[in-house]
Structure 1
Amino acid sequence: MVISSPTGQKAVFTTKLEFPTTNNIAKYEAILLALRKARAMGTPRIIISTDSQVAVGHIDKSYQARNLELARYLAAFRKAEAHF
């Protein structure tokens, strides 16, 4: 995960998921990590780029999160996004 500032500075973060997961959950984990790190850095606004069509569809409300686990991740995203 990379956080880039408007001036071009970059902060790179990695994490290791130590539980069985799917690609969609891993993408949500990365998005939530970005939000937590950006908040900790005092970032007032964030633009998220991801290649996860599922996560983007949930976030922009063009898809419904029918899977219970993904619905929980979406709820965590909604809670985190309130800080920006």
Structure 2
Amino acid sequence: MHTDGACGPEGAGAGIVLKRPEGEEYTFALHFSFPVTNNEAEYEALLSGMRVAKYMEVKELSVYVDSQLVANQFNGIFEAHDESMQKYLKLVQELAVDFDLFKITQSFKKEIWVEEVKVKSIETDGVSAAVEEEEQSWITPIVEFLNKGTLPIDSIEAIKIKMKAPMYLLDKGIPCRKSFLGPHLRCLNPIQA
């Protein structure tokens, strides 16, 4: 199972991807109607995923979280000092005993290098041209999704992009936050990459 939770000015939510060994994959997106911190959102995502797995009668569960804090608190590397973190950790520990095998690992973000090929391979002299890298920013994957419908290979990152993309639009190629004024959609606040 892969989980990821986040919060921001637009609200808080989480993504959960549960994969069975047979290849079946279940994807869930959550929107929290209560205020949370990023760490609380990560725990909420984990707990929601654990409840789903328990309901599906999963006996062995390997969880990959992108939160170093959650993974290390569960594995005893970090201590939970904050009262809310202590409560979340205790609840995870209580639910974990319902599985025959339960482990949490921190997953790391994958980077994908994209090379623009400007000339057909059959039209070159066999020497590959140097690759020019464009400056990437946090908005780049959202722009690529809005422009081309492409998503990151990492399923958790793809869920994040799908959740964030509806908040933006492209105005002459420039990403902007959406603003609804009357029946018309307007582009306000161009995003500076």
Question: Is TM > 0.5 for Structure 1 vs Structure 2?
Answer: yes
Report the secondary structure of 2:62's partner residue. Answer: coil
Q: 2:26 matched to 1:32?
A: no
Counterparts in 2 of 1:3-82, with a 5 A limit?
Answer: 3-82=18-97
Structure with more relative contact order (C-alpha pairs < 8 Å, separation 6 or more): 1
Q: Which runs of 4+ in 1 moved over 2 A?
A: none
- Whole-angstrom CA distance in 2 between matches of 1:14 and 1:39: 18
Alignment: residue pair count: 84
- Whole-angstrom CA distance in 2 between matches of 1:82 and 1:75: 11
Q: Unaligned 5+ residue runs, structure 2? A: 1-15, 100-193
- Whole-angstrom CA distance in 1 between matches of 2:85 and 2:32: 16
> What percent identity do the matched residue pairs reach?
29
Q: Unaligned 5+ residue runs, structure 1? A: none
In the TM superposition, residue 32 of structure 1 has moved relative to its aligned partner by 0.4
Which is strand-richer, 1 or 2? 2
RMSD: 0.6
Q: Which amino acid aligns with 1:50?
A: V
Aligned equivalent of 1:83: 98
Q: Which amino acid aligns with 1:47?
A: S
Q: Which amino acid aligns with 1:30?
A: A
Q: Greater CA radius of gyration, 1 or 2?
A: 2
